[in-house]
Structure 1
Amino acid sequence: MSYSIIGFGNIGHALAKAFARNGIKVSVATTRDPQSFASDAAAIGPTIIPKTLAEALKADIIFLAVRFESHPEVAKALASWQGKTIVDVTNAYGVPPEKLGGQPSSKFVAQAFSGAKLVKGFNHLVAAVLDQDPAVHGGRRVVFLASDDDDAAAEIGVLAENLGFAPIKLGGLSEGGLLVQARGNSWGQLIFKDLVKFD
């Protein structure tokens, strides 16, 4: 299984650190030349590999960690997303619900990535919290996952555990997705909730 993170801002960095902590190889890409952020990637760890967008999109599991407004640009990079799992880490705060056709933001994103399985996840924590080691006081920091594809949600759940998090599945995008999305000037009820699960 291969992984990539598209977008290398604060959230992209935080996700890359989670992979690095666990020695898991992940490609990172932006629309810029990989050389421009190679030293940033190297500073996080040897398993963080800077790549071009085209190369990074060859991964099986792709974390979409760009600004919400930039997702259509990324979606245009491949004619078909068949066989890919997209983890939607975007937040559509400030985007009017009518621009989303009244749908949950992740449903709107899923339409752009035609053929992909989409899981909403890792977006409810601010970068500074996501950046920290998820092992907290003997427990694990919670990440919420929502998807209309149970297999994809299970697959990302296993990855979240491998990264040290405690995944909690919220159901489909129209139900669970609403709890962890931003739209217009409102945030879902679970956004910013920093929870720890004790086994």
Structure 2
Amino acid sequence: MTTSENKEGSYAIIGFGKIGQTLAKAFARKGIEVSVATTRDPESFASDAAAIGPTIIPTTLAEAVKADILFLAVRFEAHPDVAKALPTWQGKTIVDVTNAYGVPPEKLGGQPSGRVVAQAFTGGKLVKGFNHLGAAVLGQDPAVQGGRRVVFLASDDDDAAAEIGALAENLGFSPVQLGGLSEGGLLVHARGNSWGQLIFKDLVKFG
């Protein structure tokens, strides 16, 4: 049964650059249907989507934002434009895959970037996750020598964190919950020109 027949738990990836395509590959590997959208016409990236697999559905931004769970895989600076696509994000979970590297901390009002993104997506639940690895590593099969590649998740909403943890497991990863955005979440945030301590750490969980 594909997720399109089962509206309960539909997925979309917003942004189809290196990271967006890498996330799409993770869904394709498990045969899970996911919509992909950018601000461009879907025709312009349809062949890239088809090359990844039949469960990767190119669509418009207006269509993609109907999904229950959205991966935000755009440049950090572009997140307010995506947030304008809906008046409220009530009932939706946004996975913030952005990194605010190079953005001055004062521009973020001294807050973690995930919290800034959360404020833009009014009414939605935000989970910071899947952002700590580069596309080349994240794109590999998460099954590693009998273990699973770790993805870190941080959220101020425990239910949303658990929901994305379950999805990460379905995609073959081992989720590690870091707690709230301002606590553990800081380990996977970029601040100005520095990276959080867990960024780029490629860890594998065994057993």
- Shared fold by TM > 0.5? yes
TM-score bin (small chain): over 0.9
> Post-superposition, which runs of at least 4 consecutive aligned residues in structure 1 deviate over 2 A?
none
* Alignment match of 1:129 (pick from 121, 137, 156): 137
- Which residue of 1 is the match for residue 191 of structure 2? 183
Counterpart amino acid of 1:53?
L
- Which residue of 1 is the match for residue 159 of structure 2? 151
* Alignment match of 2:180 (pick from 168, 172, 178): 172
TM-score w.r.t. structure 2 length? 0.96
Displacement of 1:64: 0.1
Q: 5+ residue gaps in structure 2? A: 1-8
| CA distance in structure 1 between the aligned counterparts of 2:184 and 2:39, rounded to whole angstroms | 31
- Which residue of 1 is the match for residue 4 of structure 2? none
- Which residue of 1 is the match for residue 50 of structure 2? 42
- Which residue of 1 is the match for residue 120 of structure 2? 112
* Alignment match of 2:59 (pick from 51, 60, 71): 51
Q: 5+ residue gaps in structure 1? A: none
Counterpart amino acid of 1:73?
D
TM-score w.r.t. structure 1 length? 1.00
Tell me, yes or no, if structure 1 residue 196 matches structure 2 residue 204. Answer: yes
| CA distance in structure 2 between the aligned counterparts of 1:77 and 1:159, rounded to whole angstroms | 24
Please list the CA deviations of residues 117-152 of structure 1 after superposition, one character each: whole Å capped at 9, or x if unmatched.
000000000000011100001100000000000000
Displacement of 1:73: 0.4
Percent sequence identity is: 85
| CA distance in structure 2 between the aligned counterparts of 1:77 and 1:145, rounded to whole angstroms | 25
- Which residue of 2 is the match for residue 72 of structure 1? 80
Displacement of 1:177: 1.1
| CA distance in structure 2 between the aligned counterparts of 1:75 and 1:99, rounded to whole angstroms | 18
Please list the CA deviations of residues 31-52 of structure 1 after superposition, one character each: whole Å capped at 9, or x if unmatched.
0000000000000000000000
State the aligned residue count.
199
SS of 2:36's equivalent in the other structure is strand
Tell me, yes or no, if structure 1 residue 16 matches structure 2 residue 28. Answer: no
| CA distance in structure 1 between the aligned counterparts of 2:118 and 2:159, rounded to whole angstroms | 16
Counterpart amino acid of 2:170?
N
